[in-house]
């Protein structure tokens, strides 16, 4: 009897676990999920981006995506390193406070392979869609071919326009330090002038459609 009871408790526990897992990785509007894979070849490494979004997502600014990660795969050995995105899980709500979607709030949207006398590097541009304002946060990261994050210029979300002068100054000082650290690494790798020209950045294919639609689609065509 005790064994059967224990097995029942375990079965209920696992069922509850997977139910919660499903809840926090699935949009709430009932769309089917679709995982898109894209690749970037850089030196001896193949970088793969895996992004899971609702099938009807079309724009990185409004997409309902639940997960994104990168794999840095050595072309010769097949060994790989997984790099998870820096986004977090957020819950969008309607005016009454009800849940609309559970989504990942940041996506890698463009990348490039950069070559210099010090080696090859992977450059990735991210975008985060905040939930408390209409501002979009963009930042960039630099990786080596082993998937190690060398530099990032991700800032904290800026203060509201009506914030105190002291709070705005503190944010500015923090942002300056972020950029200083970024440029120290960037310059040490002997990379070209920053920011990169638009035509050197390749949109990451994120959605089920054949093209990644940006906020200004007329500026960049894949």
CB of 36 closer than 8 Å to CB of 205: yes
CB-neighbour burial class of residue 53 (10 A; exposed 0-12, middle 13-18, buried 19+): buried
| Residue, of 73 and 3, whose pLDDT is higher | 73
The per-residue pLDDT for 218 is 35
Domain membership of residue 74 (yes or no) is: yes
Domain membership of residue 146 (yes or no) is: yes
Name, in order, each residue with C-beta under 8 angstroms of 97's C-beta and a sequence gap of 6 or more.
none
pLDDT, one tens digit per residue, over 174-185 is 999 999 999 999
Domain membership of residue 193 (yes or no) is: yes
Residue 11, SS3 per DSSP = helix
Q: Please choose, from the candidates 100, 80, 121, 95, the residue with its C-alpha nearest in 3D space to the C-alpha of residue 31.
A: 100
CB of 206 closer than 8 Å to CB of 171: no
Domain count of the fold of the chain: 1
pTM reported for the whole predicted model:
0.75
Whether 110 shows a pLDDT value over 80: the answer reads yes
Structural domain harbouring 183: 25-203
Whether 15 shows a pLDDT value over 70: the answer reads no
Domain membership of residue 11 (yes or no) is: no
Mean pLDDT of 163-183: 89
């Amino acid at each position: 009897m005790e064994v059967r009871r224990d097995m029942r408790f375990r079965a209920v526990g696992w069922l509850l676990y997977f139910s919660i897992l499903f809840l926090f990785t699935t949009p709430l509007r009932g769309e089917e999920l679709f995982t898109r894979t894209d690749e970037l070849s850089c030196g001896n490494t193949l970088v793969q981006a895996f992004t899971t979004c609702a099938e009807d997502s079309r724009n990185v600014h409004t997409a309902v995506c639940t997960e994104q990660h990168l794999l840095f795969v050595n072309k010769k050995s097949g060994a790989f390193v997984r790099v998870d995105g820096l986004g977090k899980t957020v819950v969008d709500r309607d005016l009454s406070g009800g849940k609309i979607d559970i989504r990942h709030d940041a996506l890698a949207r463009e990348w490039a392979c950069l070559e210099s006398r010090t080696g090859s590097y992977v450059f990735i541009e991210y975008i985060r869609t905040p939930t408390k304002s209409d501002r979009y946060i963009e930042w960039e990261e630099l990786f080596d071919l082993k998937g190690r994050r060398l530099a990032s210029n991700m800032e904290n979300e800026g203060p509201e326009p009506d914030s105190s002068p002291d709070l705005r100054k503190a944010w500015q000082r923090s942002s300056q330090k972020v950029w200083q650290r970024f440029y120290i690494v960037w310059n040490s790798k002997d990379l070209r002038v920053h920011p990169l020209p638009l035509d050197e950045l390749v949109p990451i294919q994120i959605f089920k459609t054949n093209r990644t639609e940006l906020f200004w689609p007329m500026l960049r065509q894949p």
